[in-house]
């Protein structure tokens, strides 16, 4: 039943460390907070103040660890990435993942202008919009997460990854890679239902996987489209991808600065918590608010999600 392949990384390869200097308004701890929210995340591991994750660069699997010192992020990895080209790509991956190259001060200036939101610039200082590099993974994750609570979503994501993803065995333990579309395109609805996917979710996953295999959708194809409208149109032309998922993907993977997953329940709750909208259908005030954050709408969404974990908004 378990058909993943195991890859043993070379034990004696030299460890390499690359230093990424921390930009202004960057907090590794805030970023780690987001990645470690008490969910059963299977695609990275956090212990103490370090995060370890497996990725595939050009089909070349590797495991890396991030830590920080006073001024730098320490990116550590063993072999497989040892060529300077691969090392550079890994560096790019991390910078993109944590959005380290963006100057977010203009966003903070906008926050400070809003009475109800200005506290975020202080309380969440240095939090970056953590991305998901792979479009296929993003879309699958969205389908999994649709209309179920997050803890259950993480649970079935783990089952999917453990059953159909590759497993890397290293000196630091085992790490998993998200499944490939080629693998999932050949799976049946019944196999996914065994993992407690609903019939709809199972079929969406299989359908999206086939779309990737046939080239009807790809990261390159999507980013080649210039306007947001064209991108949304391509994404929502696929079954299982609606407005929410399409905007989420543009925000997390394409890093569109102004994508808002309207209708997102967490977003609505956060706006309501801050008394920025009266009810969940109050789209007018929502759009009015976001208009003030032109160029930073995606960041505002991310910070509003962050606010849901603040103690003052926890109790219901």
Partner DNA sequence: ATCCAGGGGTCAC
Partner DNA sequence: GTGACCCATGGA
List of residues contacting DNA (CB under 7 A): 142, 145-152, 155, 196, 198-202, 236, 238-246, 248, 252, 263-266, 269, 305, 316
CB of 314 to DNA, least distance (A): 10
C-beta of 238 vs 271, nearer to DNA: 238
Query: In sequence order, which residues have a C-beta less than 8 Å from that of residue 275 and are 6 or more positions away?
Result: 116
> Smaller CB distance to DNA: residue 4 or 34?
34
Minimum Å gap between C-beta 146 and DNA is 4
Taking residue 313's Cβ as centre, other Cβ atoms within 10 Å add up to 14
- Residue closer to DNA (CB basis): 219 or 269: 269
> Which residue number, 148 or 185, has a Cβ lying nearer to DNA?
148
In whole angstroms, the minimum distance from the beta carbon of 290 to DNA comes to 16
Q: How far apart are CA 60 and CA 1, in angstroms?
A: 25
Distance in Å, CB of 315 to DNA, minimum: 9
Buried b (16+ CB within 10 A) or exposed e, 32-55: bebbeeeeeebbebeeeebbbbbb
Q: How far is the CB of 143 from DNA (least distance, A)?
A: 7
Nearer to DNA, 152 or 173 (CB): 152
Answer whether 256's CB lies under 8 Å from 297's CB: no
Nearer to DNA, 45 or 306 (CB): 306
CA 126, CA 306: separation in Å to the nearest integer?
A: 12
CB of 220 to DNA, least distance (A): 22
Our CB check for DNA shows the closer of 3 and 147 to be 147
CB of 236 to DNA, least distance (A): 7
- The Cα 257–Cα 246 span in angstroms is 14
Residue number with CB closer to DNA (97 or 244): 244
Q: Is the dihedral of CA 13, 14, 20, 22 positive or negative?
A: positive
CA dihedral (264, 180, 98, 149) in degrees, to 10, reads: 30
Smallest gap from residue 191 Cβ to DNA (A): 14
């Amino acid at each position: 039943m378990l058909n993943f392949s195991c890859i043993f990384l070379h034990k004696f390869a030299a460890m390499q460390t690359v230093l990424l200097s921390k930009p202004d308004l960057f907090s590794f701890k805030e970023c780690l907070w987001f990645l470690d929210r008490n969910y059963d995340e299977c695609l990275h591991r956090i212990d103490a103040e370090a995060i370890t994750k497996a990725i595939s660069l050009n089909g070349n699997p590797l495991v890396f660890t991030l830590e920080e010192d006073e001024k730098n992020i320490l990116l550590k990895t063993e072999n497989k990435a040892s060529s300077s080209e691969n090392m550079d790509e890994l560096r790019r991956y991390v910078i993109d993942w944590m959005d380290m190259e963006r100057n977010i001060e203009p966003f903070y200036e906008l926050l400070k202008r809003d009475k109800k939101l200005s506290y975020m610039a202080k309380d969440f200082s240095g939090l970056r919009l953590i991305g998901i590099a792979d479009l296929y993974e993003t879309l699958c994750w969205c389908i999994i997460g649709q209309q179920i609570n997050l803890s259950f979503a993480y649970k079935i994501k783990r089952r999917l990854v453990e059953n159909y993803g590759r497993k890397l065995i290293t000196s630091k333990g085992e790490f998993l890679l998200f499944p490939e579309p080629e693998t999932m395109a050949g799976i049946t609805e019944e196999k996914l239902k065994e993992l407690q996917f609903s019939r709809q979710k199972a079929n969406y996953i299989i359908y999206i996987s086939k779309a990737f295999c046939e080239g009807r959708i790809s990261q390159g194809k999507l980013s080649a489209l210039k306007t947001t409208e064209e991108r949304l149109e391509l994404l929502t032309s696929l079954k299982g991808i609606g407005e929410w998922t399409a905007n989420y993907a543009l925000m997390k993977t394409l890093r569109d600065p102004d994508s808002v997953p309207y209708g997102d329940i967490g977003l609505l709750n956060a706006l309501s918590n801050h008394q920025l909208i009266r009810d969940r259908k109050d789209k007018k005030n929502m759009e009015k608010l976001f208009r003030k954050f032109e160029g930073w709408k995606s960041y505002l969404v991310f910070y509003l999600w962050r606010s849901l974990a603040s103690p003052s908004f926890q109790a219901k």
